[in-house]
Structure 1
Amino acid sequence: METTSAEDSDDTSDDPGSIELGENGFPDETPVAPGPTALSARSVNGHGTANWAYNHTGIGWEYSQDCTNFVSKALYHGGGMKCRCHRPATRISKTDNAQLGDIVFFKWKKERRYNHAAVVTSKVRGHLGLSQHGIKNHSTLDDVLARYRGTSNPIQRVLIIRPRSAK
């Protein structure tokens, strides 16, 4: 994924759909009543995406930053997403609503863009397990957030999406 180096940025502008991180650097999970979910397109096989990602973290890296390439392969090989064209995805507003196969994007404070991606491969009592091409191939959302909390460049935003297939 392309990254942009940036000076210290205190950009606190709202990013629609990103998950709000509390003072402690973890998602602020105020319970909300579930609403109706309407998908105008067939969903990608989330379990297939998650299984492929979990079982294939050891495949070789093709790029120096290979996270989005890895996620793309999981969606294609495991999730059955054959069309690589852009289309809207469902944004997940709370980690409690995340499902296997959802994609998590991370934005650090000093970066202008989201610059890391991972696949949700487990969910245990609301805690998300992630598989990725990154520092640690298998981790949890809490572990990733904790790794950078208290540093000069903490994770500022998390975005979770549920990909869709073509109609």
Structure 2
Amino acid sequence: MTSQLTDVLALPSQDGLSVTLRAAVKESSALYDGAETTPTESQQAWRYTFALEDTPVINRRVDAGQAELVMPADSSAFSMTDFGSQVSEEETASAGSALPRGAVPSTGLTLSGAVASPAQEKMMATLNATGISNWARAHWNSQHEVSQDCTNFTSKALNYGGKMRMKGVGKNEKSIHNWWRKFHYNDKWGGYWTWSHTWTVANKQVLFFLEHSNGKWLGENQSAAKKGDIVFFDWNGKGIYDHAGVITKVKNGKAYVTAHNKNRLDKPLNEYLTGSNKGTDYSIIRVKPNWY
């Protein structure tokens, strides 16, 4: 892998013991899936923190977008985030159903924007199929967060693009009844994420949707697919789903997929079924959450 840094900004610490470099990083690598080697490129903003010793030592690397995350100005900020300084039950209760503008009690986290109204809360809970598709297309070549990033990618498209609410945030990560991604922060390590298996594992996500989606199971009916649907692939038809993507285009009864692992933008779905993948089964799902 090779990395090229541009738009570099140096941010020295107040005590002079460290410096943080914020940069747009273009990474080039080659992925091998057992059948072929495919070169890939991605670009993303990262923050690197170095200890200023005789020889600078890198302490951590964090996603700049995550580290600079602006939290929502409502009570969902509590369930999404884990802080080194915990918020007490009394403080949470005193905050009510929606947080005031300003700092979250005991955390120093500053919230921006107005408090969401009930109408805005209802709008935020509506699954936006166009938003799912648009988010996937806009981020198709973004940096991978996990080694097999396809299902993490579909989850983020559903959550960030479609505004689908998480379920059981912070609870049993192995349960097929929870679907979540949680941001943590501490002074030593900075910001990082944890997530449920249903967020990052294709077969687990299918099981979650079987239990918690009232949408349509379209199977292999591409002509019925719409932008924003999720497709799962079972390589060679062995009965376990291995890969996931977002339907971002439908033309002449054929679906096109945007996905991670091998980053793809509007790849014809049928191309996933040829060559070494001959015999692959797939299922298209139109997600409709039933937990809110």
TM-score normalised to the size of structure 1? 0.66
Question: After TM superposition, what 4+ stretches of structure 1 lie above 3 angstroms from structure 2?
Answer: none
Match of 1:113 in 2: 240
- Structure 2 counterpart of 1:163: 287
Distance 1:98 1:46 in 2: 11
Identify the residue that residue 90 of structure 1 maps to in structure 2.
216
Give 2:271's aligned residue. 143
Which residue type is aligned with residue 132 of structure 2?
A: T
Q: Distance in 1 between matches of 2:247 and 2:222?
A: 10
- Please say which of residues 125-134 and 71-80 is displaced more in the overlay: 125-134
**1:58 maps to which residue?**
141
Question: What pairs with 1:19-98 in structure 2 (closer than 5 Å)?
Answer: 44-84=127-167, 85=178, 86=208, 87-88=212-213, 89-93=215-219, 94-98=221-225
1:121: Cα distance to partner?
Answer: 0.3
Q: Which runs of 5+ in 2 are unaligned?
A: 1-124, 168-177, 179-207
Higher RCO by CA contacts (8 Å cutoff, separation 6 or greater): 1
- Choose between structure 1 and 2: higher helix proportion: 2
For residues 110 and 163 of structure 1, what CA distance do their matches in structure 2 show?
A: 23
Greater Rg by CA = 2
RMSD between aligned residues: 2.0
Unpaired segments ≥5 residues, structure 1? 1-41
TM-score between the two structures when normalised by the length of structure 2: 0.39
Q: Once the 2 structures are TM-superposed, how far is the Cα of residue 82 of structure 1 from its aligned partner?
A: 1.3
Describe the SS at the equivalent of 1:109. Answer: helix
Distance (whole Å) between structure 1 residues aligned to residue 216 and residue 223 of structure 2 = 15
Matched length: 122
The 8 Å contact of residues 273 and 280 in structure 2, kept in 1 or not, is answered as no
Distance change >3 Å, CA 155–CA 56, structure 1 → 2: farther
